[in-house]
Amino acid sequence: MEKRKIIVDCDPGIDDSIALAYAAAHPEAFELLAVTTVAGNQTIEKVTRNALDVTALFKLNVPVAAGMVEPIVRELQTASEFHGKNGLGDCTIPRADAEPEKEMAVFYIKKLLTELPEGEKVTLICTAPLTNIGLLLKIYPEVKAKIQEIVLMGGAIAGGNVTASAEFNIYVDPEAARIVFKSGLPIVMCGLDVTEKCALTSSQIQKLSQSQNKIARFCGEMTGYSLANGNKFRGKVSIHDAVPYMYLTHPEIFKVEKVALDVDCSDGVSAGRTIVDFRWWMYEESEENIAVVDVDVAKFQEYLIEAIYELGEKVK
C-alpha cells in the first residue's frame, strides 16, 4: 500500500492502545500526523493521559490533542467494566513527560488539514465515539476537501454490544455519527460483525503476558484484565480498533460491500443502531460507503501478534 498520512481519533482504551501499537509497527504504511482523544471508554482526562503515555511507550513521537468532554447531545457513558478505572485495564506504564497540545482536537485537526500541502489528503482513522469528527465537519465543512476517507470502528450490520442493537462508539454519540455518515465523505465502516471475530484467544493472551517482550507483556496484561472482567463469559478479547488499520495494510483479508449508512437517533430501544442499506444504488453517488462484512481471523491474529512483537523489539 502507498504510505498514508493519518490522524487517529480515539479513546484509549485497551484496544485503541493495541491498535496504536499496530500503527507504530508499520511506519512504512502510516505517517501519523496526530492523535486526538475523545471521551468514551473513559473520561477525557484519562483517555488523554493514556494517549500521551501509550504513544511515548511506543516511541511514536506524535502530538496529542484532547477533544470533547462529552457527546454533542447525550450524557457520556463510559466502559469501565471493559477498560478498567484507568482505561488501560488498570495496567500502569511510565508517565510520559508530555502534555496535550493547547488547541482542542477539532481545532488542531482543522489546523493540520488547512496546512497540508496542495493536493495532499489525510485519512482519518476513528476508533471512538465520533463527537470530535462530527463537530469538525459541521464547524469546518471546507476541510472535507482535505480528507481522503474516514475508516472507522463502529456500528454493526446486525446486533450490538452496549444494547442488543447498538455498538458502543455509535451509541454514545449517534448524532455525531449521523453527521459523519451523511457528510458525503467516503466512509469505511468496520462494524461488530467483523470486529467481534477479530479477537485474541485466552492462550494467545497468556503467551503475550508471559513474554519477555515489554510491548507483548503490556498488551497481554491489558487484554488479561478484559478477559477476567468484561469478557469473562467469552474466553476471548476482540481487538476491535485494530481492524481499521489492518483494513488499510491488508485489505486482502477482508470482504467488503458497498452500502449506504444512517443511524437511529431516537431514544427508543434501537437508539444508536446503524442502518446499513445494501441497496446502495438507491442513494446519491456521494452516499456510497463501504461496510466490512467478513475477515480471515487467523490472518488478523497473525499480523497483529507479529506487529506487537516487532514493536517490542524496536523500542526495547
Cβ neighbours of 232 (radius 10 Å): 9
Which cell goes with 72? 454533542
Tell me which residue has cell 463501504: 290
Mapping DSSP onto H, E and C, the string for 171-182 reads HHCHHHHHHHHC
By rule CB under 6 A, what string of x and - marks binding of each residue 155-174 to ligand RIB? ------x-----xxx-----
State the binding string over 217-246 for Ca ion (x if CB under 5 A, else -): ------------------------x-----
What residues between 122 and 141 interact with Ca ion by CB under 5 A?
Answer: 127-128
Report in angstroms how near the CB of residue 36 gets to ligand RIB at its nearest: 14
The helix (run of H) or strand (run of E) holding residue 188 is strand 187-190
Interface with ligand RIB: number of residues (CB under 6 A): 16
Burial of 240 (0-12, 13-18, 19+ CB in 10 A): buried
Q: Which three cell numbers stand for residue 18?
A: 493495541
| Closest residue to ligand RIB: CB criterion | 168
Q: Name which position in 17, 36, 78, 127 contacts ligand RIB (CB under 6 A).
A: 127
Selecting among 26, 83, 240, 250, the annotated active-site residue is 240
Of the chain, the end-to-end C-alpha distance in Å amounts to: 27
Judged by beta carbon, residue 6 or residue 128, the one nearer ligand RIB is 128
Does residue 9 bind ligand RIB (CB under 6 A)?
A: no
The partner in contact with residue 173, picked from Ca ion, ligand RIB, none with C-beta cut-offs of 5 to 8 angstroms by kind, is: none
Q: Which of 73, 22, 84, 75 is nearest to 47 (CA)?
A: 84
Alpha helices in 101-172 (DSSP H): 105-114, 131-139, 168-172
C-alpha cell at 187: 466512509
- 250 catalytic? Reply is no
Residue 152 beta carbon to ligand RIB: minimum distance, rounded to whole angstroms: 9
50 near Ca ion, rule: CB under 5 A: no
Q: Is 240 near ligand RIB (CB under 6 A)? A: yes
The answer to whether the bond into 230 is cis (omega within 30° of 0) is: no
Q: Per-residue contact track with ligand RIB, 55 to 94, x per CB under 6 A?
A: ------------------------x---------------
Q: Which of 41, 123, 183, 249 binds ligand RIB (CB under 6 A)?
A: 41
- List the grid coordinates of 8: 487517529
Distances (CA, A) of 101 to 68, 98, 213, 269: 14, 9, 31, 39
- Residue 264 binds which entry of ligand RIB, Ca ion, none, with Cβ cut-offs from 5 to 8 Å by kind? none
| Least Å from the CB of residue 129 to Ca ion | 8
Secondary structure (3-state) at 73: coil
State the catalytic residues: 240
Catalog residues that contact ligand RIB under the rule CB under 6 A: 11, 13, 15-16, 40-41, 79, 127-128, 153, 161, 167-169, 240-241
